[in-house]
Amino acid sequence: MGASDLAAFAALFADETRAAFLLALLDGRAWTAGELARHARVAPSTASEHLGKLVAGGVLAEERQGRHRYVRLTGPGVAHLVEELAARSEPAAPAPARSLRAANAGRAMARGRTCYDHLAGRLGIVVTDAMTARGLLRQDTGFALTDRGLAWFAGLGVPVRPSGRRPVARGCLDRTERRPHLAGLAGAALCSHALDAGWCVRIGSERAVKVTPVGERALQEALGVDPAILR
């Protein structure tokens, strides 16, 4: 990749409408062009133009079902890049919320959310720190599961095995906590298990998740997490 290629790729992210699309798609779902247009409050024709650029640039993948056009992030690598950019562009002092509803949504997202396919926000950081304290995860030389960590995942019934080019564990800079949380195959496995086992439930229309009473007990037993920290 040359300088012109890098500049062209970076330009895909340098537009407010496209940025709004990418942040929405961090929920891991496929969205229709119409849904994204309404989310970003732009005309369908404008959305289509921007989506075409993102698809052509390899940032989004397109799927068609009948009359509907769905798009999604091409993979966890792109999701990681979007979250990193969001974290590094987050202002030190965020602008005050314009309404009570927006304020509540912001607090819910900061408390716990999904970042593509892994846990983020305070929930993600608390779990990551607890795993590190218990010797399941190492952060001193980059993120890596220990043998004890691999056995812990197997005990949950979600064994983590290397697959393709995606790392087993890596750090993802949390945009609200400004610290890395667990991502990679291990992060995805833990998030999937937390949702499937009822430890967490999705709330609202954003990526926010809430720890259930079942989850509080499970995280306390499995990782020694104080339930009060999760509320």
Q: What is the pLDDT of residue 148?
A: 96
Check pLDDT > 60 for residue 25: yes
pLDDT in tens, 26-83: 888 889 999 999 999 999 999 999 999 999 999 999 988 877 789 999 988 898 899 8
Q: What is the pLDDT of residue 146?
A: 95
CA distance 186 to 148: 13
According to CATH, the topology of domain 3-74 is: Arc Repressor Mutant, subunit A (1.10.10)
Instruction: Quickly state the pLDDT bin for 155 (edges 50, 70, 90).
Output: very high
Q: What is the pLDDT of residue 132?
A: 97
Check pLDDT > 90 for residue 11: yes
Q: What is the pLDDT of residue 96?
A: 60
Q: Closest Cα partner for 55 from 35, 84, 78?
A: 78
pTM for this one? 0.76
Q: How many helices (H) and strands (E) does the chain have?
A: 10, 11
**Structural domain boundaries of the chain?**
3-74, 100-230
User: Which residues are 49's β-sheet partners?
Assistant: none
CA distance 46 to 35: 13
pLDDT in tens, 173-216: 888 888 999 999 999 999 999 999 999 999 976 689 999 999 99
Longest Cα–Cα distance of the chain, Å, equals 53
Higher pLDDT, 105 or 221: 221
Mean pLDDT for 225-229 is 92
pLDDT in tens, 82-105: 988 887 876 655 556 566 665 667
Which runs of E-coded beta strand occur in 74-194? 113-115, 118-120, 137-138, 144-145, 170-173, 180-183
CA distance 48 to 33: 7
Mean pLDDT for 214-230 is 94
Q: What is the pLDDT of residue 8?
A: 92
